[in-house]
Structure 1
Amino acid sequence: MKLKEFLVGVLTGVAAGIVVNEAIHRIDKNVAADSVLSNVKDAFKKEGPIDGSWIVMKTEPFSNDVITMDVYRGGISRIKNGEVEQFEFAADAATGTVVELSKA
């Protein structure tokens, strides 16, 4: 075997390894649902104490006519002026960014 053929084989193997590694790391890069809920709770706590919270651990598809993504659905409840306020949210599973928030 010539040195040139050997180096071509090594470089091909390295290139294939890099491509496979990138593909594996792109699969399921979602933020943990617990982390998303913690961040949403922290944001609500800036306005006052919260009473309860929940999040669905499995993602679901979400579309707003412009983009489509997988989201976590969850909710927060708090007591404000003696009354319970409930909010529901959808957060992008890949980034944890809240993409929808509504008062329930």
Structure 2
Amino acid sequence: MKLRDFLIGVATGLAAAIIIKEASERISPFVPANQVLDNVKDEFKKESPIDGSWIYMKTEDFNNGVMTIPVYRGGITRMNNGQLETFEFAADARSGVVVDLVKS
């Protein structure tokens, strides 16, 4: 195999990978809601077991006073010292980072 043929193959592979990555981000630029919920649940489980959880699969706009971002809304329920605690959260739909957490 010639070096030229090898380099053409590498360049073609890189170009295809970049095109596929860009196309997939345009089709679905958001982290899946299930993955966001799993990450939030994992963090809560570090402190105590959880009893229930939920998440809305559709995004909604969240304004923090500076900018508006698409978020998933969800919640976690757990028992802590015999008391039921309920938390509601908003997680950035693009990165999965929790941007708002409220104990209700």
> Normalized against structure 1, the TM-score is what?
0.76
Structure of greater Rg: 1
The aligned residue for residue 43 of structure 1 is 43
1:79 counterpart letter in structure 2: M
After superposing the two structures, state which structure 1 stretch, 43-52 or 24-33, moved more.
Answer: 24-33
Structure 2 unaligned regions, length at least 5: 1-14
> Normalized against structure 2, the TM-score is what?
0.76
Could you list the per-position Cα deviations for residues 37-72 of structure 1 after superposition, in whole angstroms to 9, with x for gaps in the alignment?
000000000001001000000000111111211000
Could you list the per-position Cα deviations for residues 52-95 of structure 1 after superposition, in whole angstroms to 9, with x for gaps in the alignment?
00000000011111121100000000000101000000000000
The aligned residue for residue 64 of structure 1 is 64
RMSD of aligned alpha carbons: 1.7
Percent identity (aligned):
57
Matched length: 86
1:65 counterpart letter in structure 2: G
